[in-house]
Amino acid sequence: MRKLKGKTVEEIVGSLEPEQEEIVAKLRSIVKRVFPEIVETVKWGNITCLMDGENLAWIIIYKDHVDFGFFKGAELKSNLLEGTGKGLRHIKIRSSNEIDEKELIALLEKAVELEKNKIRLRIF
């Protein structure tokens, strides 16, 4: 069950428990460092990362873990990803030490590439 939903990113981050705050801070830092053009917003009460206005990834805070997910996750390959739906996949994170930065960056790079290809196809 979800623990928290918010109206702004600051509201969500400001109400987290220390361990969750550390996880979320590390995830946000990685995203911003690798792709500074990604915009954070709140959709469905959760932190959502947008690329050129399109949904790319999300951070959902649960009581016992944080999910970092990809809207086109089914098109990504990684042993870290969980899920069985048509499109979405996520990584469950219970501690900031569990974050595999190298793998997360590779997944972000591929997700951004997929989104940019989709945008290019719309232009033509």
Delimit the domains of the chain by residue range: 9-123
Closest-CA residue to 25 (of 53, 52, 61):
61
pLDDT in the model for residue 122:
57
- The answer, yes or no, to whether residue 1 has pLDDT greater than 50, is no
- The answer, yes or no, to whether residue 120 has pLDDT greater than 60, is no
- The answer, yes or no, to whether residue 113 has pLDDT greater than 80, is yes
**Host H or E run for residue 118:** helix 101-123
Residues 62 and 27: their CA atoms lie apart, in Å, by 15
Give the predicted TM-score (pTM) of the model. Answer: 0.89
- The answer, yes or no, to whether residue 3 has pLDDT greater than 70, is no
Residues 76 and 106: their CA atoms lie apart, in Å, by 10
CA atoms within 13 A on the CB side of 68: 26
Residues 87 and 80: their CA atoms lie apart, in Å, by 16
pLDDT in the model for residue 26:
98
Residues 105 and 97: their CA atoms lie apart, in Å, by 15
**Which tens digit of pLDDT belongs to each residue from 18-58?**
999 999 999 999 999 999 999 999 999 999 999 989 999 99
Question: Could you name the CATH architecture of 9-123?
Answer: Alpha-Beta Complex (3.90)
**Host H or E run for residue 66:** strand 66-70
